A = this chain, B = another copy of it.
């Protein structure tokens, strides 16, 4: 299993790539990677995710508590922990705020991707499928929000999910894989937004 020193550079770079796309404006977003069965590495609160230093990545237990005293993990750490807890293959989780995800999740009651080759990035073998992206109402009580999300995660693991007016969560077996799936998800959201523009 990877050490903090091994995953930190990958998370720093993923943050830079997300920043180029405009998904981590201000101090938005958070990024994490699994270290072992009990701990993950996650970005700390109050830093710009496009200019992370490796020291901005801290260790947190799967219950959300920091391993070292005095460091403050991201407010949304519990949503990361939930994914690692439920899905052993998940090695990294990325959360960003894109304009497309924010606007679509506010204006559309649901988001459905239909007819896109790019869904194959999520393991589908054909474009001839309809893929839903769940949208959950935003909630500042993250534990409560996690509770709302958990049944669907367990019942029908989605390709990612959106929080209304907030952004998306994407994940993968490692940081690079999670980043690819985030790119694919944002590409699909850009396409959907575009389709609504030209109607």
Contact = CB atoms under 8 A, between A and B. Distances in A.
B195 A106 contact: yes
B166 A138 contact: no
Main secondary structure of the interface of A (DSSP, over half): helix
A125 B193 CA distance: 29
A140 interface: yes
A72 interface: no
A106 B127 CA distance: 12
B127 A180 contact: no
Q: Interface residue tally of chain A, by bracket?
A: 35 or more
Interface string A23-57: 00111100000000000000000001000000000
A118 B193 contact: no
A164 B26 contact: no
A195 to B, nearest CB: 6
B165 A127 contact: yes
A25 B195 contact: no
B26 A118 contact: yes
Contact of A166 (B22, B27, B127): B127
A181 interface: yes
A26 B183 contact: yes
Interface in A126-161: 126-128, 138, 140
